[in-house]
Chain A
Amino acid sequence: MSAFRDTSVAPIIVKDLVKRFGDFVAVDHVSFEVARGQIMGFLGPNGAGKSTIIRILCGLLRPTAGHAVVAGIDVARDPEAVRQRIGYMSQKFSLYRDLTVEENLRFFGGIYGVPAAELAERIRFAVDMAGLAGREKALVGTLAGGWQQRLALGCAVLHRPPILFLDEPTSGVEPASRRRFWDLIHTLAQENVTVLVSTHYMDEAEYCHRAALINQGHLVAIGSPESLKQKALGGEFLLLESEALGPTLTALQDAPGVLDSSVFGNAIHVLVADAEKSLGELASYLEARGLRPRRIARIAPSLEDVFVRLVATDTANRRQAA
Chain B
Amino acid sequence: MKLRRLKAMAVKEVLQIWRDPRSLTIALLMPFTQMFLLGYGVTLDIKHIPVCTFDREASQNSQALLKRFEASQYFTITRNVQSYSALVSAIDRADCKLGIVVPPDFSERLSDLGTTSVQAILDATDNNTANISYSYALAVVSGYSSDVQISWSSQQGRPLQLIQPMVVQARVWFNEDLDSRNFIIPGVVVVIMALVGAQLTSLTISREWERGTMELLISTPVKPSEVMCGKLIPYLVLGWIDAAFCLLIATQWFGVPFRGTILTLFLTTTLFLGVVLGIGYLISVLIRSQVGASQIALLVTMLPAQLLSGYVFPIDQMPILLQKLTYLVYARYYVTIIKAIFLKGADIPALLSPIMFLLVYSLAIVALAARAFRKKLG
Residue numbers of A with Cβ under 8 A of B are: 21, 55, 58-62, 79-80, 83-84, 86, 88-90, 92-99, 103, 106-113
Contacts and interface: CB of A to CB of B under 8 A. Distances in A.
A59 B2 CA distance: 21
Given A60-B376, A88-B216, A111-B5, A96 B221 contact: no
B323 to A, nearest CB: 46
A113 B12 contact: no
* Interface-centre pick from A86, A92, A110, A113 (highest chain B CB count, 10 A): A110
Nearest to A88: B219
Interface string B214-244: 1111111111000000000000000000000
Interface string B351-378: 0000000000000000000000001111
A106 B14 CA distance: 14
B4 interface: yes
Given A88-B219, A94-B212, A111-B9, A61 B377 contact: yes
7 contacts: A55-B377, A60-B375, A60-B376, A79-B375, A106-B8, A111-B9, A111-B222
Interface in B6-35: 7-9, 11-12, 15-16, 19-20
A80 B226 CA distance: 14
B213 interface: yes
A97 B213 CA distance: 9
Given A60-B376, A88-B219, A95-B216, A110 B15 contact: no
Contacts of A84: 221
Nearest to B6: A110
A86 B11 CA distance: 24
Contacts of B12: 96, 99, 103, 107
B377 A107 contact: no
Contact of A97 (B2, B211, B222, B377): B211
Nearest to B3: A110
A113 B220 CA distance: 10
Contacts of B220: 83, 108, 111-112
A83 B12 CA distance: 20
Chain A to chain B: the 9 pairs with minimum beta-carbon distance, closest first: A110-B8, A94-B216, A88-B219, A92-B212, A90-B215, A83-B221, A107-B12, A60-B377, A84-B221
Given A61-B378, A62-B376, A96 B16 contact: yes
Nearest to A165: B219
B12 to A, nearest CB: 5
Given A86-B219, A110-B7, A113-B2, A61 B376 contact: yes
A110 B219 contact: no
A95 B213 contact: yes
B367 to A, nearest CB: 20
B221 A98 contact: no
Contact of B221 (A55, A97, A111): A111
A93 B218 CA distance: 14
Contacts of B213: 94-96
A90 B378 CA distance: 15
Given A99-B16, A108-B220, A113 B4 contact: yes
Nearest to A61: B377
B228 to A, nearest CB: 14
Nearest to A155: B216
A155 to B, nearest CB: 8
Nearest to B216: A94
Contact of A110 (B5, B16, B375, B376): B5
A38 B44 CA distance: 76
Contacts of B377: 55, 60-61
A60 B212 contact: no
A110 B216 contact: no
Nearest to A93: B212
Contacts of B8: 106-107, 109-111
A88 B216 CA distance: 7
B15 A99 contact: yes
A110 B226 CA distance: 12
Contacts of B5: 110-111, 113
A90 B9 contact: no
Interface in B187-224: 211-223
Nearest to B222: A111
Contacts of B219: 58-60, 83, 86, 88, 90
A79 B15 CA distance: 29
Contact of B19 (A59, A92, A98): A98
B317 to A, nearest CB: 49
A60 B4 contact: no
Interface in B321-335: none
B46 to A, nearest CB: 50
Contacts of B211: 94, 96-97
Nearest to B10: A110
A108 B221 CA distance: 10
Contacts of B376: 60-62
A64 B7 CA distance: 36
Nearest to B2: A113
A62 to B, nearest CB: 7
Nearest to A96: B213
Contacts of A109: 8
Contacts of B9: 110-111
A222 B129 CA distance: 84
A201 to B, nearest CB: 21
